A and B are shown apart, each in its own frame.
Chain A
Amino acid sequence: MNPKRCAACKYLRRRCPKDCIFSPYFPPSDPDKFACIHRIYGAGNVSKMLQQIPVQTRAEAVESLSFEAKCRVEDPVYGCVGIISLLQTEIQKTQTLLARTQAEITVAQAKHSQTQVNEFM
């Protein structure tokens, strides 16, 4: 077997052809990356997904798949959707706090204007 097989072909125990679709993105030095993606998506699905997108976008696609797969392994119920939920909650909290602070500014400015008017009179 070719010792320079990519991590995907090593995992799948097959020959790594010259035009292997996985080899640019799954170096043999990082076997866990493919293992995780394969566990969640399956090699066949990942191969199909990569074939359907332009070559220059495949590296980013693999990274995002890898992230989502890791999220799913760590949180089998919600995966990365749990993070989306957290962020939406954080946005709502911050918007509320911002609105409250801006209201305080308005009140403080109005108070100051009133004070100035009183001092003038």
Chain B
Amino acid sequence: MGGPGSSPCASCKLLRRRCAKDCIFAPYFPPDDPHKFAIVHKVFGASNVSKMLQELLVHQRADAVNSLVFEANARVRDPVYGCVGAISYLQNQVSQLQMQLAVAQAEILCIQMQHEPTLQSHHQVLELDQDDKALLLHNNIDNCNNNNNNNLGYAMSSGQFNSNFASPSSIMQMQMQMQDPLKQESLWT
């Protein structure tokens, strides 16, 4: 914390001003990490960050600062796409994994249907030829794609980013469908 006799916080040092006892930045921008504030100031501006923090409850501010630092770093690394580049990449990963999962689940179904003994004794033997297997697989993948289209996928497919972008609120609806997000500590490292 700033005050007489103590070192000014990183923000007040950069802004070359007196670090007040109740400086809003001091708890989150210690003097031993000047880069943290410098990057946030470069992207968002000190007054915008101050306004944002003032609008939050005190216990929310540390996480807010960490997320702003993360976004600022992403924007400096990728001045065109910032964090959106990372979101696009992760969404592609999700899509690919869901496709692989659909393929694996179709394969399990095939194996179960081929080797289920009760089916053979009581029903006509279900001989799955290549076309049947392909259809089963295709249906599984379609179900997977339909689920995908209800979330971030349709807005950010294939790393392309265009103005026909889904609103963050529709993407946030994904939060309701998924389990509660784990705000992982590892994100900040």
Chain A min CB distance to B187 (Å):
6
Chain A, interface SS category: helix
A61, B80: Cβ atoms closer than 8 Å:
yes
**Which of A39, A41, A77, A87 interacts with B94 by CB under 8 Å?**
A87
Complex CA gap A44/B173 in Å reads 32
Which parts of B134-189 form the interface with A (CB within 8 Å)? 152, 161-163, 165, 167-169, 171-172, 174-175, 178-179, 181-184, 187
| Contact, CB under 8 Å: B115 / A112 | yes
| Docked-complex contact A76 and B55, CB < 8 angstroms | yes
Q: Which residues of B contact A61 (CB under 8 A)?
A: 79-81
Chain B contacts to A: CB under 8 angstroms? 42-45, 47-48, 52, 55-56, 60, 63-64, 67-68, 70-71, 75, 79-87, 90-91, 93-94, 97-98, 100-101, 104-105, 107-108, 111-112, 115, 152, 161-163, 165, 167-169, 171-172, 174-175, 178-179, 181-184, 187
What is A's interface to B at a CB cutoff of 8 Å? 39-42, 44-45, 49, 52-53, 57, 59-61, 63-65, 67-68, 70-72, 74-91, 94-95, 97-98, 101-102, 104-105, 108-109, 111-112, 115
